Structure 1
Amino acid sequence: MLKIIIKLIKYLKWDLSTKSFRFFYLNFFFKDIPGRLGMEIRKLLYERYLRHAGKNLMVYEGVHIRNIDKLSVGDNVALGVNNFIQAAGEVEIGNNAIFAPDVKIWSANHKYDDLEKPIFEQGYDYKKVVIGNNVWIASNVFIMPGAELGDGVVVSAGAVVGAKKIPPYTILAGNPARKIGLRNRKKEAKGK
């Protein structure tokens, strides 16, 4: 039993020696604190570990981030309840972007071309995800590696956005996500 405890302590010491694992442990303790207190604690934590953090970051309960040092967020970004961002291939989020609950963003994927090798031995493909300014991502959206969403894009609930460049002010829906409309730029200009 003592050998097992010593082994576990060594794992913990090794984990805490790297910045990304220190973030995992801290996030584990603070990710589900409710209310304004929890949001403020997570904001302070995330600002310390993100590649870039703009002003007025809001982080709701349950957010998970892998490779936080490769995630950049602009001003007035709201990460929604239970968002999961895997930023190994880099993720860049512009200003005034809001994410509803259960949004997932992936920037890396397993390679699987070699039929002679197990997939877990083949490594990863990394593709940056870019999300523009004033973008709204609705609940249960999945954004895949290589996706680029222009300014003002709206993604409807449950959509799956592939590795495409989406023009500004496009409204997307479906699996795979398709353009279902455009936002009215004249109305948006009056609101500024």
Structure 2
Amino acid sequence: MIKHLKFILFYPKIGPDMYLTHWLLFFKTSRLWFQKRKMGKIGENSEIRPYCTIIGTKNVMIGNNVIIPNGTTLGNLPGDKGSIIYIEDNVLLGPNVAIYSSTHNFQDVNKPIKNQGYNVASTRLKSGCWIGINSVILPGVTIGKNSVVAANSVVNKDVPDFTVVGGCPAKIIKRIDGSK
């Protein structure tokens, strides 16, 4: 029992399946204490809401004024210094967004994918960007300052500052700073 309790308290994960700690997210006082203890960095006025999943909590850096809404998944390879998710100040995330900084390798057809290791690359969401509902941000991608990712998009390449992208895979729809 003690071993299981230590696992739940100290394993670098937040999520509904971590039942003894997940309830801490439902109450603001315990949520603020818990997220500061569990995360790599979390800024002022930022919150992790219930029903989100974060794998590799110490590799997630969250700026000021960011809400991680329900259904969001932040996934990286715990303990790998190259697998970090950076979410800068004032980023808006819709529900059910998935952001990754690691993924499985799959080049060797003679091995099961789960035995081939991982490909890691830091992922960054620059300040003021908005990620629409159900979007997926893949490893190594940078979303530019004040850019918009349309709902249900899969982003596999960097997005320039002040740009709207959408689709699967996401493509530039328009610039929002007036330039062409």
Normalising TM by the smaller chain, what interval? 0.7 to 0.9
Q: Flag the 1:168–1:44 CA change in 2: closer, same or farther, 3 A.
A: same
How far is 1:16 from its partner? 4.9
Which structure dedicates a bigger proportion of its chain to helix? 1
TM-score (norm 2): 0.85
The answer (yes or no) to whether the contact 1:99–1:136 under 8 Å persists in 2 is yes
Matches of 2:57 and 2:167, distance apart in 1: 28
Number of the residue aligned with 1:121: 115
Within the candidate set 51, 58, 62, 1:69 is matched to 58
How far is 1:113 from its partner? 1.1
TM-score (norm 1): 0.80
How far is 1:27 from its partner? 3.8
Deviation digits for residues 86-121 of structure 1 (CA, Å, limit 9, x no counterpart): 032110011001111110111111111112221111
Q: Flag the 1:43–1:82 CA change in 2: closer, same or farther, 3 A.
A: farther
Structure 1 unaligned residues grouped into runs of 5+: 1-8, 186-192
Number of the residue aligned with 2:34: 45
The answer (yes or no) to whether the contact 1:57–1:75 under 8 Å persists in 2 is yes
Residue 113 of structure 2 aligns with an amino acid whose one-letter code is I
Q: Flag the 1:27–1:129 CA change in 2: closer, same or farther, 3 A.
A: farther
1:169 pairs with 2:158: no
Number of the residue aligned with 1:110: 104
Structure 2 unaligned residues grouped into runs of 5+: 78-82
Q: Flag the 1:83–1:13 CA change in 2: closer, same or farther, 3 A.
A: closer
Larger RCO (alpha carbons 8 Å, 6+ apart): 2
Q: Flag the 1:10–1:103 CA change in 2: closer, same or farther, 3 A.
A: same
What number of residue pairs does the alignment pair up?
Answer: 172
Residue 157 of structure 1 aligns with an amino acid whose one-letter code is A
Number of the residue aligned with 2:80: none
